[in-house]
Amino acid sequence: MKPLPEIINIFFAAVIILTPGCSKKIEAGSPEEVLFLLKEKGGTSEVMNLYTDGTVSSLKRYMNLTKMSEESATDVLGFIPADAAYDITEKKIEGDKAVLKLRFTKHHTENLAGYTMEINMVKDGKAWKINREPDFKKLVKAYESGGAERYLKNIR
């Protein structure tokens, strides 16, 4: 039988080796990888790691105002479903900023097939992240001023 101190040392070594892999945040080394990971991790809270801190902060403010669930928020952020297909029709990288144009070629929501969207990204350290902070700030402002409610009443 091994002495108790040796067993304890082996246990702590295993914990130290395995812990970093368990808590590692997902990071994208390129704008294209952000989209790949978004599709792969959609529907999980891990998608938050693919957005800038400002985007996540603004979204959380909106969540608090509207009582939006975290599940709904991750659905909003994970906008590329696992069964979707897309093409990157344009890519422009200037320093630590990138703009990608994405066109869905297949999407489970029928009217989104063929839909094109522009995605703004910034490089945060070594990782590329989606920057939707201005969009969410406008959404918060519209909600606080009743703009969203007026809009919904107008389209009824």
pLDDT digits over 66-121, tens only? Answer: 898 988 888 888 889 888 999 999 999 999 999 999 999 998 887 888 899 999 99
Using one digit for the tens of pLDDT, what is the confidence trace for 16-74?
Answer: 444 334 445 778 899 999 999 999 998 888 999 999 999 999 999 999 988 989 888 88
Nearest-angstrom CA–CA distance, 50 and 5 = 42
Query: What does R_g of the chain's alpha carbons equal in angstroms?
Result: 20
| CATH of residue 57 | 3.10.450
Residue 52 lies in a domain: yes
- Per the structure, the count of domains in the chain is 1
Render the burial of 92-110: b for 16+ CB within 10 Å, e for the rest: eeeeeebebebebeebeee
For residue 24, being part of any structural domain is answered with: no
**Alpha helices (H) in the chain, listed in sequence order:** 4-22, 31-41, 53-66, 70-77, 133-144, 147-155
- pLDDT score of 142: 86
Residue 60 in domain:
yes
Residue 129 belongs to domain spanning: 29-155
The verdict on residue 6 lying in a domain is: no
Res 8: pLDDT:
47
Percentage above 90 pLDDT, the chain: 47
Residue in the structure block whose two tokens are 């395995």: 18
Is 7 part of any domain?
A: no
